[in-house]
Amino acid sequence: MLRDVGYTSAAFGKWDLAGHTQTDFEPELLPTGQGFNYFFGTPTSNDAFVNILRNEAVIEKQADLSMLTRWYTEEVIAFMKSNKDKPFFAYLAHTMPHVKLAVSEQFRGRSKRGLYGDVIEEIDWSVGQILETIKDLGLDEYTYVIFTSDNGPWHVWGEFGGSAGPLRGAKASAWEGGFRVPCIMRAQVGYLPV
């Protein structure tokens, strides 16, 4: 739909909709087969390892999980910079904090919450880098940013699976803790110059 009205679109990160294996995915179910112009990420979750794809081509096998958040951030920023003069849509689905957790050296050991907290701090850094780039490109007034999650914590992983705080339940449950997730929308009223 966005392509039809002049947008360039890209998906970054975890795309768990192309068949649930890293090596036997269906190309027509990847983002580029579903209307996106560009894809950089993995065709499924990181239960064991990930292969990184650029569009439909595997560019790195069994990638270093600790670098995923940084790589996705760099790719999103490069995409925004190269499309700053036209309408674009960037969809970023960070692989972390899905288990198997990993974090770059820069964030390792920084959080009082252990590895899970380190991962969250790196995602927070990523969001900050993206928002700063939007501002630096002069697109702050014209860009909607939506931040949300697909499900609650994964309690079978204990401290590595996250927390729903006071809410009952977790991922795969019908309780609030399973599906009540953050949703933050940021937008300013503005119009693109003609």
CA distances from 17 to 14, 25, 58, 100 (A): 9, 9, 16, 19
The pLDDT value given to residue 94: 96
Ordered domains of the chain (ranges, CATH):
3-143 (3.40.720.10)
CA–CA dist 169, 171 (Å, integer): 7
Encode the chain (194 residues) as per-residue pLDDT tens digits.
898 999 999 999 999 888 777 778 889 999 999 999 999 999 988 888 899 999 999 999 999 999 999 999 999 999 999 999 999 999 999 999 999 999 999 999 999 999 999 999 999 999 999 999 999 999 998 899 999 988 888 888 888 888 888 999 888 889 998 888 889 999 876 555 54
pTM of the predicted model over 0.85: yes
Angle between helices 68-82 and 114-136 (to 10 degrees): 10
